[in-house]
Amino acid sequence: MPSAAKQVLSLAHFVILLLSLGAASTSLGLIQANTNNGMLCFFFLTYSQVIADDAGPTFNMPTCKLSIASAAIATTCLALLTAIELISVLYQTNIKTLVAKILQIGFFAVSILFLFITTVVVAAGWSQTCATFKNMTTTQPSTDFSFQCTGKLQAYIIEPNGAEFIAAAVCAGVGAVLTFGALGFFIVKQMRSDDDEYGTLISKN
Residue spans of the domains in the chain: they are 3-139+146-204
How far is Cα 137 from Cα 146, in angstroms, rounded to an integer?
A: 7
Residue 188: pLDDT band (50, 70, 90) is confident
| CA nearest neighbour of 174 among 72, 71, 73 | 71
pLDDT tens digits along 135-144:
887 776 655 5
User: pLDDT value at position 20?
Assistant: 98
Q: What's the mean pLDDT in 15-32?
A: 97
Report the chain's C-alpha Rg in angstroms. 22
pLDDT tens digits along 99-118:
888 999 999 999 999 999 99
Q: Is 148 left (phi over 0), alpha (psi -120 to 50) or beta?
A: beta
Q: Which of 40-44, 90-94, 167-171 has the lowest mean pLDDT?
A: 90-94
User: pLDDT value at position 66?
Assistant: 97
Residue 49: pLDDT band (50, 70, 90) is confident
Percent of the chain with pLDDT over 90: 54
Over the chain, what is the mean pLDDT?
86
| CA nearest neighbour of 69 among 42, 45, 38 | 38
